[in-house]
Amino acid sequence: MEVIYMLIGFSLLVALIFLGLFFWAVRSGQFDDQYTPSMRVLFDKKSSDKKTNNQKHRDE
């Protein structure tokens, strides 16, 4: 029975360590997305074309 208490304590300690490492990684910018913004430029053409076409029709 004493082993179960020791294992529960050890598992809580490991879980707190991983939680601390996760928060450290989030704060240091490890999960900032650097790839998607560069790809968004490639697919943004259709929405910008619609806006420019609408503006041309309004100006005429």
Residue type for position 54: N
Q: CA–CA distance from 35 to each of 15, 24, 27, 30, 38 (Å)?
A: 30, 21, 19, 13, 6
Q: What are the tens digits of pLDDT across the range 1-59?
A: 899 999 999 999 999 999 999 999 999 988 887 777 777 777 766 655 555 555 555 65
With a threshold of 0.85, does the pTM exceed it? no
Residues 6+ apart with CB under 8 A from 25: 31
